Amino acid sequence: MRIQQSLLRVLTVEQQRSITPPPLIGEERDEESGLLEAQARQDLESEGCAPCYPARLEVPVRHPPEKYRQIIEYWQSLRSTDDVVLCAQRQIGESSDTTSDYNENITGRNPSAS
C-alpha cells in the first residue's frame, strides 16, 4: 500500500513537471509585452541606441503613427518578433554589421561611415 502511494506521488510530481502552461492571451499577453518592451528600451538606451519608437506610444504597438509605421513594420517583419518590437531591435542591434545595414537601409545613413 505504501509503495503504491509513493508511486502515485512520484507520478503526480512528474506529471506536474510535464504540464505546459497555457499561452498568454489578451491583457496578460499585452502586460508581458509591455514589460519586455520596457526592459528592451532600457537596454537600448543604456547602450546608446535610440529605440525605434517613443515611449509615449502604447505597448504593444498595434496602430503606429505614420511617422513610425515603416520602422515598426520592419521590426515586426522579422521572424518571431510579434508584439515585442524593441526586443527584436535590441537583439539585432547586438551585431554591429547588422546595425550598420539597418541604419543605411532604413534611415539612409551609416554612422560608421561618419
Quick check: is 7 in a domain? no
Average pLDDT of 68-74? 93
Q: 48 exposed, middle or buried (CB, 10 Å; 0-12, 13-18, 19+)?
A: exposed
Quick check: is 30 in a domain? yes
Examine the pLDDT at 66 and tell me if it is beyond 80: yes
CA atoms within a 13 Å half-sphere pointing along the CA-CB vector of 6: 3
What integer best gives the mean pLDDT of the chain? Answer: 76
Quick check: is 104 in a domain? yes
Quick check: is 101 in a domain? yes
Quick check: is 15 in a domain? no
15 or 28: which leads in pLDDT:
28
Average pLDDT of 75-102? 74
Quick check: is 3 in a domain? no
Contact (Cβ atoms closer than 8 angstroms) between residue 86 and residue 40: yes
pTM of the model: 0.60
Domains of the chain: total: 1
Domain of residue 102 covers 25-113
Quick check: is 47 in a domain? yes
Percent of the chain scored above 70 by pLDDT?
A: 61
Quick check: is 11 in a domain? no
CA atoms of 106 and 75, how far apart (whole Å): 11
Examine the pLDDT at 23 and tell me if it is beyond 60: yes
CA atoms of 53 and 99, how far apart (whole Å): 16
